[in-house]
Amino acid sequence: MTDKTKVIAVFHSGYGHTKVQAEAVLAGANSIEGIDAELMEAAEAANNLDKLDEAAAIIFGSPTYMGTVSAQFKAFMDASSAKWMAQGWKDKIAGGFTNSSSPVGDKTGTLQTLSVFAAQHGMIWVGLDLPPGNNSTSGSDNNMNRMGASLGAMAQSLADQGPDMSPPNADQETAHYYGARIARAALRWAA
C-alpha cells in the first residue's frame, strides 16, 4: 500500500525513441513529492486496463506514424472501450506526448487524437504551458519546447540516429517538465 498519488504513462515505441521521451516524462513525474509514477507499454496496458484505475493521472505517448498514433497504440485505445462504456477513467488527469523524425511531421495530429481520446473517457486534459523555445532570434534548438507545442510534449528524433542520440536533451527536458506538470496537476486535482 502507498499513500502516494499514482501517475501512469502508457506508451508505445517501435524503435526506442519514444521510450526515451517516456522515461523523461516518468522522471519528471517522479521528481514531484507525493507521486508514484510508472511506465506501461501500450500492449501490456491493453491487457490490464484495471491497473490504470489506480492512477490519478494517465499520460499517453505514441510515436507519430503516418500523421497519427501508431497502430500498436491505437490497439490500446480500442481495447479501452470497455472502460469507456463504464466511464471508468472519468475525471482523471490526462496528457500526451509524441515523437517523430520531421520537425513538424504532422505531430499535432497525434496529440489531437490523444486529446480527443482522453475527452471521450471524460478525462481532464492538461496541455504544455511552456512558451515556444525557438521562434525568435534569441531562441535555439537547445531550448525546451523547441517544437513550439501547446497541446502536449513533442520531440524530434532524426531518422538516421538511434535512441542513444535522439531525441536530444532539449526534448527530454521538455518531456521531464511536462511529466512534472501532470504530476502537480494530479496532486491538485485529487486534493
Ligand X SMILES: Cc1cc2nc3c(=O)[nH]c(=O)nc-3n(C[C@H](O)[C@H](O)[C@H](O)COP(=O)(O)O)c2cc1C
Which residues form the interface with ligand X (CB under 6 A)? 13-18, 63-67, 99-102, 105-106, 157, 159
Q: Compute the least distance from the CB of residue 101 to ligand X, in Å.
A: 4
Cell of 51: 491497473
Q: Compute the least distance from the CB of residue 161 to ligand X, in Å.
A: 9
- Spatial contact of 58 and 92, defined as CB atoms under 8 Å apart: yes
Q: Compute the least distance from the CB of residue 177 to ligand X, in Å.
A: 20
Q: Compute the least distance from the CB of residue 138 to ligand X, in Å.
A: 27
- The nearer residue to ligand X, 36 or 41, going by C-beta atoms, is 41
Closest to 151 in 3D by CA, of 59, 66, 41, 87: 59
- The nearer residue to ligand X, 75 or 190, going by C-beta atoms, is 75
The whole-angstrom separation of Cα 52 and Cα 39 is: 11
- The nearer residue to ligand X, 24 or 186, going by C-beta atoms, is 24
- Spatial contact of 29 and 179, defined as CB atoms under 8 Å apart: yes
- The nearer residue to ligand X, 99 or 145, going by C-beta atoms, is 99
Q: Any idea what DSSP says for residue 56?
A: S
In sequence order, the β-bridge partners of residue 35 are 5
